[in-house]
Structure 1
């Protein structure tokens, strides 16, 4: 008999321009006496108006999260310990920012109620206890981190998420106004994360009608935004926010594929940011996603974006091996992309040749 996945989704979703203004009333029922809400905010917003709109009560605290690099397990552990030392108990964690901040918020929430290091929970269904209340408020669209059951972290030996039913947010606020001032290249890279999710999900062996319905809609929105529209406007912000949500839902019931599996190796070794890493890899995946790669290249050209190259020049054999080890560890991604016999198709030698192209 088939084993169907019974996955946890975000409990509450509010969408709409200006919905950020409801944050105070949304948080009110989740506050506990003498336990603050912690607002983990992307350091991009330091001294910007958004910080002054955060509804602080009592001993609430704003922490500016340094996401110059993608979240590390050491940073998660440090933040969780800091909060335990300072407050003991907290009411919840609110992540405001791009995918890295939302992943960080999810991870810190979990580590408030689970012993050890976040590195102990990198994998599938290793988290034993629910975290504290957590809400996600994206200020960039594309990663799908607002709806995913993972928070991707770079640990001592691997780059892998804390994939569990306890990971999804309890609440998300989708306010497209918050994405309006995103730098155009950053907007493109995160938008391409969503586009690549769709290509990988829709061509994967795990595909089913649930993931297909979300993936097709997200893909259609990305194609409209990055190929048909001539200028970025409010409509693009609205549509990309929904594409991100739908793209995240699509992979929730299927998986991503080759681009993500390979880009994790780049992030682990070189600190390459996720969106850029996916673009660098996608540029060379004609063998696996011929139509998707051709369309991706048209999007890059139309939006006048430079994809970095030469980032793997001069790496040692040892460094290539480290990237290959991380990438090969992403078994569900490879199986979705290439089937159960994926190890016969994607050998270590073949993966090395692929990395040498970047």
Structure 2
């Protein structure tokens, strides 16, 4: 048996207020007058008090990232081209925001040193050259993007990540105070991304003691926060941030499953955001994850969250085929969920019926 030798995040800083140490953490990574580029979620564009805390030096630049749509390969390539035209070289890319912003930081960081288009690297272990210094600072918890070895991108023909050992961040900063102002609905959808990929990892065929240890703790924290807690507080922000971290670590050595595989099709065709897309799909997956779906529905009810329904109503056969093709292209996810014979189990016809339920 051949074991995976996988790359993890280089450095981790954790704690309320740790954002104030950003300047000293970045200082050793600066290369001459090459700037640090800060990709910042558009949520903060009208929050000067927060933006003023970003320690700009010399030619450093803040780039406000539009997260209306999930990251596209064309967006990555344009950001790379703009930065090269403006500065030639940069010292690093720092992503401050949710999963989309962190994925863009990882992707652009890689494309600063790799030739061609980011679409050329959608797949597993296609990146051959180390990128520039990359740092992730999550301002919402749940995606696990801060520890993931992928950056999920929608390309010309598919939605698939740049999965490689070079993709992981060199540094992450986990400051729970940055997540305190997240709107309740958005917080729930993103937190459920964590809960769902823990369920998928823990019931997958790739499961091992490494993944199980992290996944069980992350799921336990999600259930404590969303089923047991009476009200939201700083303790909840801290626990959810650690659930996100542990959940991401769980799938680092395993995989996600049916919900993620199906939601990729929704995202590609309809532009459905990742967190809410997973919720829409997971809501209908009792036959695959009965206990997890039962707990999920209890969380939805307790927090008065509305899960969109009938979003695939009226789609054409061609559109259903597009979603099915994207979804079935996620072979490792299906194998983790259903085993090596997954293609006999999840036929195109069965997947079509599943999409019709959404």
Q: Shorter-normalised TM-score: what interval?
A: over 0.9
- State how 1:171-190 maps to structure 2 within 5 Å: 171-190=171-190
The match for 1:287 is 287
SS of residue matched to 2:153: strand
Q: How many residues align?
A: 357
The match for 2:246 is 246
> Take 2:340 and 2:347, find their aligned partners in 1: how far apart are those partners?
14
Query: Deviation at 1:73?
Result: 0.4
1:149 maps onto 2:149 in alignment: yes
The match for 1:262 is 262
TM-score, structure 2 normalization:
0.99
The match for 1:305 is 305
> Take 1:304 and 1:77, find their aligned partners in 2: how far apart are those partners?
40
For structure 2, which runs of at least 5 residues remain unmatched after alignment? none
Query: Deviation at 1:151?
Result: 0.1
The match for 2:191 is 191
> Take 1:66 and 1:348, find their aligned partners in 2: how far apart are those partners?
35
> Take 2:221 and 2:28, find their aligned partners in 1: how far apart are those partners?
35
1:72 maps onto 2:72 in alignment: yes
The match for 1:35 is 34
SS of residue matched to 2:254: coil
SS of residue matched to 2:93: strand
SS of residue matched to 2:235: helix
Query: Deviation at 1:47?
Result: 1.9
- Cα deviation per residue 1:243-299 (whole Å; 9 max; x = unaligned)? 000000000000000000000000000000000000000000011001101110000
- Cα deviation per residue 1:115-138 (whole Å; 9 max; x = unaligned)? 110000000000010110000000
> Take 2:50 and 2:153, find their aligned partners in 1: how far apart are those partners?
26
The match for 1:99 is 99
The match for 1:25 is 24
- RMSD of aligned alpha carbons: 0.4
- Cα deviation per residue 1:275-331 (whole Å; 9 max; x = unaligned)? 000000000001100110111000000010000011101101000000000000000
> Take 1:51 and 1:355, find their aligned partners in 2: how far apart are those partners?
41
For structure 1, which runs of at least 5 residues remain unmatched after alignment? none
- State how 1:1-358 maps to structure 2 within 5 Å: 2-48=1-47, 49-358=49-358
Query: Deviation at 1:52?
Result: 1.1
Query: Deviation at 1:234?
Result: 0.5
> Take 1:121 and 1:244, find their aligned partners in 2: how far apart are those partners?
26
> Take 1:345 and 1:36, find their aligned partners in 2: how far apart are those partners?
51
Deviates more, 1:49-58 or 1:139-148: 49-58
TM-score, structure 1 normalization:
0.99
SS of residue matched to 1:40: strand
Moved over 2 A (4+): none
